[in-house]
Structure 1
Amino acid sequence: MILTDNIQSAFLDQVKKRLPPNLSMADELSEILNISRDSAYRRIRGETILSLDEVKTLCNRFGVSVDALLSPSNEMVSFHYRVVDSQHFTFDKWLKSVLNNLEMLVPFADKQLIYFAKDIPVFYYFNSPLMGPFKMFFWMNSVLKEEGYQNVPFSPDLIPKELITLGEKIWKRYSETPRIEIWSEETLNVTLRQIEFYHECGFFADPKYGVQLCNEYIALVQEIRSWASVGFKASVENKFHLYKNDLLIADNTILFRMGDKRVTFIPYNTMNILTTTQEPFCQQTEDYLINLINKSVLISTTGEKERAKFFNQMEQKIVQLRNRIG
């Protein structure tokens, strides 16, 4: 494949933007393409044209799209996607990919995550001893239809320890990430419906699990409420801004901002994720989220009355479910 000098430069520029600041572009190309550093520099300067195999290797490694460079307009967007299944991209690999995505933010001094939440961000559940295993079981049983989780009632003992450990690592990394979350009054409902469904269908190995999950849910919401009141989790540097949105139905869109780099994540079919770094699309997503933030109510650090009203309503929803199933 022959790339013109301008296209090759643009392509390698996209690769460079995906590298942490402390890594050398030439060193990475040398290692990944199995070429000398001098050969890597010749490709960076445009003196040597990248081969088709080299372009494919770099695309697969960094998720860069050649289509976006060749397209005459910004109307075509290329996404990287992985479908979670029981053979190739298994649930444990999905968890590892979530952790890897969060760790991508770590090297950057200027970073932020924006999460437009249809459900409470999944990362929070992994900090709860029963809720974390329940969500994992729900996904593997009701969404992925994994064979080992069919026709058996939920018990936390069914979830392998390595998955619990991965969840804990994900939670820790997320809790350390500066972030903006946009919630609505519907944000609790997804998990509440899942708990009620499992209770009504007799899918709990112990009937008390439903009430225990409600108690953990209340504790989780109260903990998030306390973080929102001070605006950070764990340290002052890890700023946490929470907004209440009354305008639009959330869709779990996630945007990573790393200096001048942007990555957009769009979940679909519950667990599968579309990912793109195409600049026009990411910029449009950022503009959309910023506009949404400007039309939402900040309920962290300030807005004590709105924050109290919002979280009181959320806790009351959980209490009502606990009373129905207790």
Structure 2
Amino acid sequence: MTPATTQSQFFQQLKGLMPPHKALVDEVADLLGISNDSAYRRIRGEKPIDLGELQQLAAHFKVSLDSLLNLSSDALLFTGRPQVHPAITLESWLTNMLGQLQLMNSFGQRHLYYLLKDIPPFYHFQIPELAEFKMFFWMKSILHYDSLKGVRFRFGEPYYQDCHPICQRIVALYNQMPTTEIWNVESLNSTLRQIDFYREAGSFATPSDARLLYEKVEELIGAIEYQAEVGVKCVLRQPGSPALPYRLFVNELILGDNTLLVELDNNRLTYLNHSVLHFLGTRDERFNDFMFANLDNLMKKSTLISGVGEKERNQFFNALRRNIHQRTQAL
């Protein structure tokens, strides 16, 4: 393979990563500070790109050069800025989530696969009380806000109110993507245990706050059950327009790890969860093919309860409700 051919294939790879409404030549020209004509000549392989330009392009598009240089390597390229408090704030985390969803929705063909360990934040954000509690938990126990030391949780604080608009934008974007989720009956437990912990630690402003949160969790479970029954994406039982496909699988043996894989036109991205809140992403083709094969295998060994499987669906959601009722009865 000639260097010019290799270079052309590299740019074809970059083109596949571009949202449909953007032009590769404009992106390359802006990034390298050259004219569109010079960018075209590089894209066609008529003018070689130097190592500095190659480094700029690879870093910007977050791609590995192993395949371009025909290297056989076990190395994988993941992206994700290290998040260290106080550099990371809840606002920056929400903004990053919003940006990732905007990127996904910029592609024509898209499908999100989610291997759950916990209920996704996109669902908690649909109910203000749950959204506020999760914000408090993340800020106090994960991001370690100094301002929350010794502070009890209260509904309706101004800070939470300021975050609701971006949370609603996140919910709207999540519901613009066809989605497949793989659940386990344990997927509910993280949220319930967080409520349990703060109740037992006396961290609620009033004793009735825990009961209200348990009730809101049950309301959310009912909404997700309805979404599974109709088989389309919904926000609190209201299907989107257009109504996009939703599949829910239950795997009784495997508890997920909050891995996300998204198909965007002819490309795949994988996001791996770490440190509770954060994700590392990769476009590595080998890794993404492996992850998709793993998810496909899990789905084959799971029970589909969306659209079909009424008996199994009722059994699953009733088991979740029993878990909630055990806690409310103990109050």
TM-score tier after normalising by the smaller chain length: over 0.9
Post-superposition CA distance 1:182-209 (Å, at most 9, x none): 0001010011110000000011122221
Matched, 1:93 2:99: no
How many Å separate the matches in 2 of 1:202 and 1:69?
Answer: 57
With 189-198 and 5-14 compared, the bigger mean Cα shift is at 5-14
One-letter amino acid of the counterpart of residue 271, structure 1: L
TM-score when normalising by structure 1:
0.93
5 Å-filtered alignment, 1:1-326, equals: 4-67=3-66, 69-70=68-69, 72-73=71-72, 75-156=74-155, 157=157, 159-233=159-233, 234-235=240-241, 237-325=243-331
- Supply the distance in 2 between the matched residues of 1:93 and 1:50 (Cα, whole angstroms): 35
Q: Deviation of residue 38 (structure 1)? A: 0.5
Q: 1:56 to 1:90 in 2, by over 3 A?
A: farther
Q: Secondary structure at the match of 1:78?
A: coil
CA distance in 2 between partners of 1:306 and 1:149 (Å): 43
User: 1:235 offset after TM fit, Å?
Assistant: 4.0
Question: After the TM superposition, which of the residue ranges 88-97 and 191-200 deviates more from structure 2?
Answer: 88-97
When structure 1 is superposed on structure 2, of 283-292 and 84-93 the one drifting more is 84-93
Kindly tell me the number of residue pairs found equivalent between the two proteins.
Answer: 323
Q: Cα deviations across residues 81-111 of structure 1 (Å, max 9, x unaligned)?
A: 2233334343312211111111222233321
Q: Match for 2:330: what amino acid?
A: R
**Residue type of the alignment partner of 1:261:** N
Deviation at 1:158, TM superposition (A): 5.7
- Unmatched tracts of structure 1, length 5 or more: none
Is this contact kept in 1: 2:89–2:143, CA < 8 A? no
1:10 shift after superposition: 4.0
Deviation per CA, 1:147-178, whole angstroms, max 9, x where unpaired? 22222111231634332221111111112211
Q: Which amino acid aligns with 1:19?
A: M
For 1:90 and 1:313, the matched residues in 2 are separated by 36
Shift in CA distance, 74/182, structure 1 to aligned 2, threshold 3 Å: farther
Query: Residues 308 and 163 from structure 1, CA distance in 2 versus in 1: closer, same or farther, beyond 3 angstroms?
Result: same
Instruction: State the Cα RMSD in Å.
Output: 2.0
Letter in structure 1 aligned against 2:90: F
2:237 corresponds to which residue? Answer: none
- How far the C-alpha of 1:316 sits from its partner, in A, is 1.2
Deviations 1:102-133 (A, max 9, x none): 12222333210000000111210011111101
For the 8 Å contact 1:91–1:140, the answer to whether it is kept is: yes
Partners of 1:230 and 1:288 in 2: how far apart?
27
1-side partners of 2:43 and 2:55: how far apart?
16
For structure 1, which segment, 144-153 or 308-317, has the greater mean C-alpha deviation from structure 2 after superposition?
Answer: 144-153
- 8 Å contact kept, 2:64–2:77: yes
Distance 1:121 1:111 in 2: 19
Q: Whole-Å Cα distance in 2 between the matches of residues 181 and 48 of structure 1?
A: 46
1:7: Cα distance to partner? 4.6
Give the 3-state SS of the residue equivalent to 1:188 in structure 2.
helix
